[in-house]
Amino acid sequence: MRAHSRFSVSRLAVRIALLAAAALVLSLVGRAEPPQQAAQSAPPQTAPAAPQKSFVIVGADVADGSGEPLVQESVRVVGDRIVRVGNFVPDAGETVMHADGLVLAPGFIDTHNHSGPGLETDRLAESQISQGLTTLLLGQDGSSPWPIGEWLDKFRKDPAALNVMMLVGHATVRRLVMGDDFRRPATLEEIAHMAALVDQGMREGAVGLSSGLEYEVGSYSATEEVVAMARVAGKYGGFYISHIRDEADRSFEAMHELLEIGREGELPVQNTHIKLGTVGVWYRAAEVATMYDAARHAGQDVTADCYPYDAWHSNFKVLVPNKKYDDPASVSKAIDDVGGPQNLLITDFEPHPEYQGHTLADAAKTRGITPTQLLIEIIRDGDGGVIGHTMTEQDMRVFYAQPWVMVSSDGGIGMKHPRGAGTYPRVLGRLVREWHWLTLPEAVRRMTSLPAWRLKLHDRGLVKEGMVADLTLFDPRTVIDRSTFAEPQKLSEGIEKVYVSGVLVWDHDHATGAKPGKVLPK
């Protein structure tokens, strides 16, 4: 319950404030102001007279982000832009970076990242830039900071090492409107208020709507409510990215709902961290692909993103979709559905910190009770964090075989799952080099131009003249993740240099301290 207690203002006061906000929103919409331009402070500029810094990277094999084969080319960067790509000789006196044997790629773009809270105190984001990441999309799973404009302004005034983007969180808006009384469908009036708040978030700089319909607050929403909010995001050119309503036995229903929200809301949709998480739906990834392909062929814009691990990280409640948390039959079925209590690793449980790092099976054994009894107790006593080893590698491989599936981490600063620090090097080192699931240029495309296209970042995601110089230079022979479930924070290896807007932020094994990150898209 601690997540709910911060809303101490009375519902009446909230409502009055919201009505006023909605009125303001409507008046602003009426005047069709450009989104948030006036309120933004100008990004820091170099003095106009100073010559722009220039350098040339020579000898690298360029994976330009398009998926085309590697080509050894030189790349010149002036200021924050790539100005020349090809076979040319650097000018006399020009700074040259020799990169023989390395691959030069666009900076990686993560469409599902949870570094928002971590960035507040860790602007250098070492665990992120050390993976080659240069842009993070935050505000995921239905949860975003509020007000969004204020949050983004903090990162304009005091930037991070890498670029940030924000989504409007469906659950965040739902709580703002419904307060603690959210365990029911919203009324039409409430939905109108939510839509007005989504409108506000989009005008303040968000690029879409996120939802976490499997989680507590989002799970009570009707499809129509989400459609009403998605339509507003779509009006601003935004997309809808969803942790869908069920990633277990009812995955297919939840995927159909995602498609329906896209059609009815008239906007692109993305099935984030796509997975099949229970025994009942294992090995059905090909069916998922067929279903989404059919929608795509019918003209719907649908994509997905996938993290390269067969284990998820969430809370225990998501295991019990019927919410009968104290019903032994329901809880016992939940444990069976994921293949047994040995597949559930406890990462956090405040009343019993000693459970951390133990499976539900082991912790129950130590206590001398059944796993079902322990799970009932954990949820009753405030719920805890859990890593579920409940996906199959076979399904993951089928997902990654789809050209519309991008790489994402669902990770972030301080995460207790190895994906937080290891996702991108893991794809390059294991899925590409060791397992041959993807070619290197194709893997790079899924990390760069594909997410850039989804996020409408038209001048990023490719190594091409005129594009912003967000670049990642890595050693294809050594790049690898080092983070594990036991040591989730361990930094990756083999990412040699990372540039954000032409500025070096990561150098072999350390952050340079530079913080050129921008709030995107503008």
Give residue 205's Cα distance to chain centre: 17
Listed ranges 11-19, 136-144, 201-209, 416-424: which one lies at the site for Zn ion (CB under 5 A): 136-144
Cβ 220 vs Cβ 185: under 8 Å = yes
Helix (H) / strand (E) containing 393:
helix 393-400
Please report how close the Cβ of residue 350 comes to Zn ion at its closest, in angstroms. 21
Cβ 497 vs Cβ 477: under 8 Å = no
* Alpha-carbon distance values, 448 to 75, 306, 442 (Å): 17, 14, 10
| Nearest Cα to Cα of residue 403 among 436, 449, 457, 435 | 449
Give the residues across from 269 on adjacent strands.
240, 302
Nearer to Zn ion, 155 or 307 (CB): 307
Q: Where do we find the tokens 């790629």?
A: 105
Q: Name which position in 80, 141, 383, 475 contacts Zn ion (CB under 5 A).
A: 141
Cβ 504 vs Cβ 512: under 8 Å = yes
Please report how close the Cβ of residue 244 comes to Zn ion at its closest, in angstroms. 9
Please report how close the Cβ of residue 3 comes to Zn ion at its closest, in angstroms. 15
What residues contact 217, with CB distance under 8 A and at least 6 apart?
142, 171, 174, 175, 182
What is the Cα–Cα distance from 264 to 236, expressed in whole angstroms? Answer: 16
What residues contact 141, with CB distance under 8 A and at least 6 apart?
169, 171, 210, 211, 212, 215, 243, 272
Please report how close the Cβ of residue 273 comes to Zn ion at its closest, in angstroms. 5
Please report how close the Cβ of residue 110 comes to Zn ion at its closest, in angstroms. 13
Nearer to Zn ion, 231 or 243 (CB): 243
What is the Cα–Cα distance from 503 to 515, expressed in whole angstroms? Answer: 8
Nearer to Zn ion, 243 or 454 (CB): 243
Number of residues that bind Zn ion (CB under 5 A): 2
Between strands 103-106 and 108-110, the pairing is: unpaired
Please report how close the Cβ of residue 233 comes to Zn ion at its closest, in angstroms. 18
Nearer to Zn ion, 130 or 144 (CB): 144
| Nearest Cα to Cα of residue 258 among 291, 217, 236 | 291
What is the Cα–Cα distance from 85 to 65, expressed in whole angstroms? Answer: 13
Does 247 help bind Zn ion (rule: CB under 5 A)?
no
Give the residues across from 209 on adjacent strands.
168, 240
What is the per-residue binding string for Zn ion in 361-400, x denoting contact by CB under 5 A? ----------------------------------------
Please report how close the Cβ of residue 167 comes to Zn ion at its closest, in angstroms. 12
Listed ranges 124-132, 243-251, 259-267, 318-326: which one lies at the site for Zn ion (CB under 5 A): 243-251
Listed ranges 36-44, 56-64, 115-123, 235-243: which one lies at the site for Zn ion (CB under 5 A): 235-243
Nearer to Zn ion, 74 or 140 (CB): 140
Residue type, 110: D
Listed ranges 149-157, 198-206, 240-248, 438-446: which one lies at the site for Zn ion (CB under 5 A): 240-248
Nearer to Zn ion, 169 or 262 (CB): 169
Please report how close the Cβ of residue 112 comes to Zn ion at its closest, in angstroms. 7
Between strands 312-315 and 385-388, the pairing is: antiparallel
| Nearest Cα to Cα of residue 447 among 464, 460, 436 | 460
Listed ranges 10-18, 133-141, 255-263, 351-359: which one lies at the site for Zn ion (CB under 5 A): 133-141
Which is it for the CA torsion 266, 268, 270, 271, positive or negative? positive
Site for Zn ion in 165-184 (CB under 5 A): none
Please report how close the Cβ of residue 181 comes to Zn ion at its closest, in angstroms. 24
Listed ranges 155-163, 242-250, 353-361, 449-457: which one lies at the site for Zn ion (CB under 5 A): 242-250
Please report how close the Cβ of residue 221 comes to Zn ion at its closest, in angstroms. 16
- Three-class SS state of 324: coil
Please report how close the Cβ of residue 209 comes to Zn ion at its closest, in angstroms. 14
Listed ranges 135-143, 175-183, 373-381, 473-481: which one lies at the site for Zn ion (CB under 5 A): 135-143
Listed ranges 74-82, 120-128, 141-149, 229-237: which one lies at the site for Zn ion (CB under 5 A): 141-149
Nearer to Zn ion, 270 or 501 (CB): 270
Q: Angle at CA 486, nearest 5°, toward 482 and 487?
A: 45
Nearer to Zn ion, 36 or 242 (CB): 242
Give the residues across from 57 on adjacent strands.
75, 97
Nearer to Zn ion, 65 or 412 (CB): 412
**Closest residue to Zn ion, Cβ-based?**
243
What residues contact 195, with CB distance under 8 A and at least 6 apart?
228, 229, 231, 232
Nearer to Zn ion, 169 or 502 (CB): 169
Please report how close the Cβ of residue 385 comes to Zn ion at its closest, in angstroms. 13
Nearer to Zn ion, 141 or 305 (CB): 141
What residues contact 290, with CB distance under 8 A and at least 6 apart?
none
Nearer to Zn ion, 163 or 272 (CB): 272
What is the Cα–Cα distance from 229 to 232, expressed in whole angstroms? Answer: 5
Helix (H) / strand (E) containing 304:
strand 302-306
Nearer to Zn ion, 147 or 414 (CB): 414
What is the Cα–Cα distance from 472 to 131, expressed in whole angstroms? Answer: 9
Q: Name which position in 243, 417, 446, 515 contacts Zn ion (CB under 5 A).
A: 243
Please report how close the Cβ of residue 410 comes to Zn ion at its closest, in angstroms. 6
Point out which residues bind Zn ion (CB under 5 A).
141, 243
